[in-house]
Amino acid sequence: MTTIATAASARASRTWYKILYVQVLIAILIGVLVGWLWPSLATNDWVKALGDGFIKLIKMLIAPIIFCTVVSGIAHIQDAKKVGRVGLKALVYFEVVSTFALVLGLVMGNLFQIGHGLAAKPDAAAVANYVKQAEASKSVDFILNIIPDTVVGALARGDILQVLLFAILFGFSLMALGERGAKLRGMIDDAAHAVFGVIAIVMKVAPIGAFGAMAFTIGKFGPSALGNLIGLVALFYATAALFVVVVLGLISRFVGFSIFKFIAYIKDELLLVLGTSSSESALPQLMTKLERLGCSKPVVGLVVPTGYSFNLDGTNIYMTLATLFIAQALGVDLSFGQQLTILVVAMLTSKGASGITGAGFITLAATLSVVNPVLVPGMAIVFSIDKFMSEVRALTNIIGNGIAAVFVAWWEGELDQATLHARLNLKIDPNDGETSNTAG
């Protein structure tokens, strides 16, 4: 826990106005005031360009991020050979629970259609381009278009489905190489870290993008737009809480413990995530806590890192909710078939979301570009409030991955129930490194 204390101390010692979170909040507030008091200035092309420019920077990184993270996630599953059936069980769990998260987001988005009334208008050029593509393409053409003419071309164009197809194939091929592919896996992991470094640089201008997006949104649609935006934030919070309490709560109860006690057990890690908006920041501490909780080391070592690419429940909820909100705001009716497409596409694009700040927004861009390009311009509306949802995404993700490790350990018969209950009932200090067989 020394790491947590050090991180907390470092954050506390930083000058408040240098903290990105504070800068974004201030930028949003200034954007609201400018949009409200000077709407003509807020709707100026240059102000709009601030938000649009930031979105283009994010879209620039979609293809390399998805390629690196999907390849790395699949290639590292070779560790499943050491723990027998654990890898397959973990993947089955991830896909089932992720589907619940996606469906819950769609259900809540359809029940509470808070995007209606915003009266936003899609970009005319984007609409015309989409209509042209829709008239020219057939179902068979869509399927064939998933296969790229060249890999380089797919990456250059940023065609997400083509990049995903190649990344999945490349990942399984690299996994089959075993030890011979270790050096190449390391290079891809390093490339992923380098791309994340670019994201860190891009995120430094997030306050400018947030100001431009919020000012233009309020200036164009009026202060009443705040009601829709606040409604989206509130709905996302409620949906994430519902998922944790009901879905993860039922899974926890099935194993034999309380979700609320588990949340209390990892409260230090949750506070760390809350301060950084990244679930990866607490990864080492979470793994240590889960081993102390009674989960076997091999299960924790496989399930938790893999879950950071394949089990992002908060991101899944966000993508379906935000997609429906943008469609409603732009007046685009999504058919039942298109909403099913959202499920499939979001299930794939979420595999490119790592536990970094802004990853949820990146995967939203990927999902929208595949489901319906008309929706992409609407990202500027959601971006203005994305920061308010990033923390909840990260918190939901880390809780979901913790529950996943406990469930898979229980499923595999490698969960010490006595230690589990002793820890959760606080009969053993959560920060105590020694284990106990005392039943709770």
pLDDT in tens, 345-366: 777 766 645 444 455 666 777 6
* Banded pLDDT at 180 (limits 50, 70, 90): confident
- Flag whether 433 is in a domain: no
DSSP structure string for 121-149: ---HHHHHHHHHHHHH--HHHHHHHTS-S
Return the pLDDT at 100: 93
Whether residue 72 is contained in a domain is answered as: yes
| 438 domain residue, yes or no | no
Q: What is the pLDDT of residues 27-46, one digit of tens each?
A: 878 888 888 888 888 888 88
Q: Kindly state whether residue 420 falls inside one of the protein's structural domains.
A: yes
161 lies in a domain? yes
For the residues of 302-365, what is the DSSP string, one character each? Answer: HHHHHHHHH--HHHHHHHHHHHHHHHHHTTPPPPHHHHHHHHHHHHHHGGG--SSTTHHHHHHH
How confident is residue 140, by pLDDT bands cut at 50, 70 and 90?
A: low
Across 23-37, 66-80, 245-259, least confident range: 66-80
Region 154-163: mean pLDDT is 76
Of 109-118, 125-134, 296-305, which range is least confident?
125-134
pLDDT above 60 for 80: no
Task: Check residue 246 and give its pLDDT.
Answer: 95
Q: If pLDDT is split at 50, 70 and 90, which confidence band does 433 have?
A: low
Label residue 280 by pLDDT band (50, 70, 90). low
Give 60's pLDDT tier (boundaries 50, 70, 90). Answer: confident
Residue 244 lies in a domain: yes
Q: H/E element holding 420? A: helix 417-424
Say whether 415 sits in a helix, a strand or coil: strand
- The domain containing residue 420 runs over which residues? 2-424
Coil, strand, or helix at residue 439?
Answer: coil
Per-residue pLDDT at 221: 66
Q: Cα separation of 375 and 381, whole Å?
A: 11
418 with 300: CB under 8 angstroms? no
State mean pLDDT over 81-106: 81
Task: Please tell me the predicted confidence (pLDDT) of residue 387.
Answer: 63
pLDDT at 360: 64
Q: What is the total residue count of the chain?
A: 440
pLDDT confidence of residue 367:
74
Res 127: pLDDT: 40
Beta strand ranges found along 212-251 (DSSP E): none
Q: Is the pLDDT of residue 241 over 90?
A: yes
User: Tokens 């230090």 — which residue?
Assistant: 268
Kindly state whether residue 15 falls inside one of the protein's structural domains: yes
**CB atoms < 10 A from the CB of 436, how many?**
16
State mean pLDDT over 264-274. 77
Q: Which residue has the higher pLDDT, 178 or 74?
A: 178
Decide if 437 is inside a domain: no
pLDDT given at position 243 = 95
Q: Quote the pLDDT of residue 136.
A: 45
pLDDT band at 10 (very low <50, low <70, confident <90, very high): very low
Per-position DSSP letters for 75-99, written without gaps between them:
HGGGGGGGGTTHHHHHHHHHHHHHH
CATH number at residue 73: 1.10.3860.10
Tally the domains of the chain: 1
Q: Which residue has the higher pLDDT, 410 or 339?
A: 410
For 210-239, what is the mean pLDDT?
77
Q: What is the pTM of this model?
A: 0.62
**pLDDT higher than threshold 70 for residue 63:** yes
The candidate with the shortest Cα–Cα distance to 93, out of 422, 372, 403, 355, is 403
